[in-house]
């Protein structure tokens, strides 16, 4: 009998998929800390989206129906606009505005990412379903369902990221947005276990985004809409599965053709992977509420998170150097390995997306001007202030092994940077070190009040003082917010 044939015994679904499905369908969320943090996360994420609406590159290129004038029954709303879209395109639009300015929450581990990117799919599906239920005489979803879906999406994305580095094999973290959005939106749509497993398998068998657009010399604006694309794709895959599309049970583990062998293992340009080259996911803890409870908020600066503490240190140094910028001989930034790998760059910066992923640029601006805001990444600002590149050219980047080590330690997860300025006359500032940014859980007490101020300021960019106050008061009241129908909540954000 020939052995040169495939054994066509259909396997069970990979255990990774089964664990996600069982978590989403069965886990009961009772952590008040997680729910309270999710409420703050909802505020902050929506606020980031509202602020992005001030930027025509975002609104003119990416928002609205594919076919102008399309009318969608029970269309999902895009906060801060008058758009009503089908849930797939609404997820794109919401996800795009949330991510545009790189100002929403962050998770840092072996893989990086922004778990609130999943709000695009969650909010689009929940709003559409709530309107449809009301029209049919049924009870709408409440914001509690949105918060629970956010917690679960954070958890799926964040737990997988703890020990699995997709960036080291060239894949972008939005893969995890697609997987998490697929899982939680399928649940919101009423998926059973088989349908949810099918949807998840399609999320992994899909083509996955390369990180090319996040790194020199190709950094560009795709990084500002990639997460919206991923969350939107999750909604589409969930819908396909609920319509009865079969899944791919061995999508991860299938020899040669599965995700592990094709995209996650080390290859030597040889189709036959050696045993030592093969890799599978390492999952160190079960799914619960850990990630939402420990998520990092970007409170002060619209900047890639590995640079947040460098920006904070630069603001502290600004009064000491602002009148001596041309007398600077060198600037030493002491940082951690991840920052060096993804945002340390020299040479010309081609666009705003290139600048907000440059450690040197994000440090130079607050050193010179005392703050860092989104408008300071734009071409016009950069061209008008040659001092920025002058300072960049004087920067020396040094890794501190302790910073790199404590970045990964579960009880620390620091994101440390230190900045010191040396002058031509031989004098210098003190080294200003910041190991935990204001949005870190270790600084929650200081951070939440500032996060609320950030939300108020972002509301004011789109709404009247009365509407802004109404939205803020509702978002501050945990019990009232959780009980609010999603469609009524979204009504408040329509222009």
Phi, psi of 293 (to 5 degrees): -65, -25
3 state DSSP class of 323: coil
Q: Which residue has the higher pLDDT, 184 or 265?
A: 184
Pairwise CA distance, residues 294 & 101, whole Å: 22
Q: Which residue has the higher pLDDT, 455 or 304?
A: 455
- pLDDT of res. 413: 87
- pLDDT of res. 277: 62
With 0.85 as the threshold, say if the pTM is over it.
yes
Phi, psi of 94 (to 5 degrees): -65, -45
Phi, psi of 71 (to 5 degrees): -110, 130
- pLDDT of res. 6: 65
Contact 298, 407 (CB under 8 A): no
Distance set, CA 450 to CA 50, 151, 237 (Å): 17, 22, 37
Note the pLDDT tens digit of each residue in 364-396.
Answer: 999 999 999 999 999 999 999 999 999 999 999
Q: Nearest to residue 69, comparing CAs of 58, 89, 84?
A: 84
Please identify which residue in the block is written with the tokens 């991860």: 252
The confidence band for 269, taking pLDDT boundaries of 50, 70 and 90, is: very low
- pLDDT of res. 19: 98
Question: How high is the mean pLDDT of the chain?
Answer: 94
Contact 455, 49 (CB under 8 A): no
| pLDDT at 446 exceeding the cut of 90 | no
Phi, psi of 296 (to 5 degrees): -100, 125
Pairwise CA distance, residues 264 & 164, whole Å: 9
Would strands 84-85 and 76-77 be described as parallel, antiparallel, or unpaired?
A: antiparallel
Beta-bridged to residue 74, according to DSSP, are none
| pLDDT at 137 exceeding the cut of 60 | yes
| pLDDT at 4 exceeding the cut of 80 | no
Q: Which residue has the higher pLDDT, 342 or 47?
A: 47
Half-sphere exposure of 213 (CA within 13 A, CB side): 15
The confidence band for 27, taking pLDDT boundaries of 50, 70 and 90, is: very high
Q: What percent of the chain has pLDDT over 90?
A: 87
Pairwise CA distance, residues 308 & 312, whole Å: 6
Q: How much is the average pLDDT of 57-82?
A: 96
Note the pLDDT tens digit of each residue in 217-259.
Answer: 998 999 999 999 999 999 999 999 999 999 999 999 999 999 9
Would strands 107-108 and 84-85 be described as parallel, antiparallel, or unpaired?
A: unpaired
- pLDDT of res. 9: 79
The confidence band for 52, taking pLDDT boundaries of 50, 70 and 90, is: very high
Please identify which residue in the block is written with the tokens 């947040």: 308
* Inter-axis angle of helices 222-242 and 174-188, nearest 10: 40
Q: Nearest to residue 338, comparing CAs of 369, 293, 314, 304?
A: 304
Q: Output the DSSP codes for 122-166.
A: HHHHHHHHHHHHHHTTPPPPBHHHHHHHHHHHHHHHHHHHHH--S
- pLDDT of res. 268: 47
**Among 37-41, 149-153, 275-279, 303-307, which is the least confidently predicted range?**
275-279
Which sign, positive or negative, has the C-alpha torsion 481, 486, 487, 489? positive
Q: What is the DSSP letter of 432?
A: E
| pLDDT at 274 exceeding the cut of 70 | no
| pLDDT at 2 exceeding the cut of 70 | no
Contact 54, 84 (CB under 8 A): no
Note the pLDDT tens digit of each residue in 101-114.
Answer: 989 999 988 898 99
């Amino acid at each position: 009998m020939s052995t040169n044939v495939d054994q066509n015994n259909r396997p069970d679904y990979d255990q990774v998929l089964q664990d996600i499905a069982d978590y989403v369908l069965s886990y009961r969320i009772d952590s008040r800390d997680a729910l309270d943090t999710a409420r703050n996360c909802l505020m902050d994420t929506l606020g980031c989206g509202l602020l992005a609406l001030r930027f025509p590159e975002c609104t003119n290129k990416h928002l609205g129906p594919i076919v102008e004038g399309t009318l969608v029954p029970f269309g999902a709303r895009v906060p801060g606009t008058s758009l009503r879209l089908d849930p797939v395109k609404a997820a794109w639009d919401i996800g795009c505005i949330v991510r545009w300015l790189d100002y929403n929450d962050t998770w840092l581990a072996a893989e990086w990412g922004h778990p609130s990117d999943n709000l695009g799919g969650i909010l689009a599906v929940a709003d559409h379903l709530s309107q449809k239920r009301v029209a049919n005489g049924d009870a709408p979803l409440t914001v509690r369902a949105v918060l629970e879906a956010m917690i679960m999406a954070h958890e799926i994305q964040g737990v997988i990221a703890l020990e699995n580095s997709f960036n080291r094999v060239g894949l972008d973290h939005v893969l995890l947005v697609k997987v998490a959005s697929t899982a939680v939106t399928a649940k919101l749509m009423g998926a059973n276990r088989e349908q949810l497993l099918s949807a998840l398998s399609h999320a992994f068998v899909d083509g996955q985004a390369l990180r090319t657009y996040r790194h020199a010399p190709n950094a560009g604006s795709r990084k500002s809409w990639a997460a919206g694309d991923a969350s939107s794709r999750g909604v589409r895959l969930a819908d396909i599965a609920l319509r009865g599309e079969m899944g791919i049970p061995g999508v991860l583990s299938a020899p040669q053709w599965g995700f592990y062998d094709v995209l996650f293992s080390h290859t030597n340009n040889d189709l036959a992977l050696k045993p030592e080259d093969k890799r599978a996911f390492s999952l160190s803890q079960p799914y619960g509420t850990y990630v939402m409870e420990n998520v990092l908020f970007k409170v002060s600066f619209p900047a890639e998170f590995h640079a947040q503490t460098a920006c904070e240190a630069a603001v502290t140094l600004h009064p000491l150097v602002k009148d001596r910028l041309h007398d600077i001989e060198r600037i030493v930034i002491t940082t951690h390995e991840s920052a060096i790998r993804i945002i340390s760059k020299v040479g010309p910066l081609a666009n705003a997306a290139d600048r907000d992923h440059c450690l040197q640029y994000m440090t130079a601006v607050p050193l010179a001007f005392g703050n860092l805001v989104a408008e300071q990444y734009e071409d016009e600002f950069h061209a008008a202030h040659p001092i920025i590149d002058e300072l960049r050219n004087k920067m020396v980047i040094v890794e501190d092994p302790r910073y790199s080590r404590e970045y990964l330690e579960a009880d620390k997860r620091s994101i440390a940077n230190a900045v010191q300025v040396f002058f031509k006359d031989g004098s210098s500032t003190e080294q200003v070190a910041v190991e935990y940014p204001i949005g870190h859980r270790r600084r929650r007490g200081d951070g939440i009040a500032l996060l609320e101020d950030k939300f108020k300021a972002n509301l004011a960019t789109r709404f009247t003082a009365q509407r802004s106050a109404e939205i803020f008061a509702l978002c501050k009241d945990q019990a009232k917010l959780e009980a609010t129908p999603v469609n009524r909540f979204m009504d408040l954000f329509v222009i």
